[in-house]
Amino acid sequence: MTMERESINGVPEVTAVSTLNVIDLSGSDTHRSVSSLKQACLDCGFFYVINHGISDELMKEVFDQSRKAFALPLSEKMKLLKNEKHRGYTPLFDERLDPVNQLNAGDYKEGYYIGIEVPEDDPRAQEPYYGPNVWPDEDVLPGWRQCMEKYHQLALDVAKAVSRLIALALDLEIEYFNKQEILGEPIAILRLLHYEGRVSDPSKGIYGAGAHSDFGFITLLATDDVSGLQICKDKDAVPQKWEYVEPVKGAFVVNLGDMLERWSNCIFRSTLHRVIIGGQERYSIAYFVLPNHNCLVECLPTCRSEENPPKFPPIRCRTYLGQRYEETHANLSKYQTHADLSTQERPKT
């Protein structure tokens, strides 16, 4: 199956539908699961996960609650604006994931960040990505916080199950990534996303989400039934070839992040992806999993040799994440006056 769109240089771009491996987390054949996952990680760093243990009922509730939050008036959403810990609401254009091609505007999406809840008086709240979340009032969105907290914990369990297969695929001990200093106290970020339906036009730099790779260890993505996610398996190809990743009911789309690519010395791939909107609203729920703030991300012992020395210097998770956020997110000073956002004026294109 192929779909034709205009590429940035005006030449028709044929976009195929990608065929991804499917990993069954309830399966008893661990060897088969590890082999399938490893092939996916070597090929494109994207795969589906099914039978993950999160019920269809809870998934429906999370999507319903997400829609209710984004349907609030902008004035109400701006009361929940993200803070310096990257918790809370992010308006349209807050994120510019592909600055080279997004010259006039950021991403045509709004979002909501929810991290692991850490009380303000907890010493861990001094860390840059730990602290209290920004929650809507119960009378505005009844049951919203409870729903999101429940999903957050269950999604972390799924991520840890996937991490065990990744460890085995890299010839590591099965709980390698679940050690205290790595995913024992992770930076785990739930992000609700709403694409308003503006038709994407790459020739004008208009994207639901610009081309990027994720920052962290792995990402779990749940989507509605509206297509839009595309991957580019070879970012250096000219022209780039983009393939759709179609929604699969009840499945997570899982992709590897840049930290895992660094850990694996580029054996496993963190792949370029973007969101192209065809005129329909689209909702998705991303769950970004990163290691402990102080985790040192350096080449794994099973991924280096005399012939293949480490390609990257060691770096702390907090340092790397800070650099990437600074590159792609609007500074909070942009929102010093909420009135500027009252009409969500579109940039000229």
Instruction: Calculate Rg over the CA atoms of the chain.
Output: 20
- Per 3-state DSSP, what percentage of the chain is helix, strand, and coil (rounded to 5)? 30, 25, 45
Beta bridge partners of 296: 316
Distance CA 79, CA 245 (A): 35
Distance CA 89, CA 100 (A): 25
Among residues 349, 97, 343, 90, which one has the least CA distance to residue 206? 349
Are the C-beta atoms of residues 94 and 113 closer than 8 Å to each other?
no
Coil/strand/helix, residue 4: strand
Domain limits, the chain:
22-328
Q: What is the pLDDT of residue 322?
A: 86
Are the C-beta atoms of residues 16 and 2 closer than 8 Å to each other?
yes
Beta carbons within 10 angstroms of residue 320's beta carbon? 19
Distance CA 178, CA 229 (A): 29
Tell the residue number behind the tokens 């049951």, with chain if given: 143
DSSP structure string for 181-194: IIIIS-EEEEEEEE
Distance CA 50, CA 161 (A): 12
Report pLDDT digits (tens) over 63-121: 999 999 999 999 999 999 999 888 999 999 988 888 888 877 889 999 999 999 999 99
pTM to 2 decimal places: 0.91
Report pLDDT digits (tens) over 113-163: 999 999 999 999 999 889 999 999 999 999 999 999 999 999 999 999 999
Sorted by sequence, the CB contacts under 8 Å of residue 80 that are 6+ apart come out as 88, 89, 112, 134, 135, 136
pLDDT (tens digit, 0 to 9) for every residue of the chain, 349 residues total? 544 444 433 434 546 898 999 999 999 999 999 999 999 999 999 999 999 999 999 999 999 999 999 999 999 999 999 998 889 999 999 888 888 888 778 899 999 999 999 999 999 999 988 999 999 999 999 999 999 999 999 999 999 999 999 999 999 999 999 999 999 999 999 999 999 989 999 989 999 999 999 989 999 999 999 999 999 998 888 888 999 999 999 999 999 999 999 999 999 999 999 999 999 999 999 999 999 999 999 999 999 999 999 999 999 999 998 888 777 766 666 666 554 544 444 554 4
Distance CA 113, CA 87 (A): 5
Q: What are phi and psi for residue 72, nearest 5 degrees?
A: -65, 155
pLDDT exceeding 90 applies to what percent of the chain? 77
Task: Please check whether the domain covering 22-328 is classified as CATH 3.30.565.10.
Answer: no
Q: Which tokens belong to 103? A: 């010259």
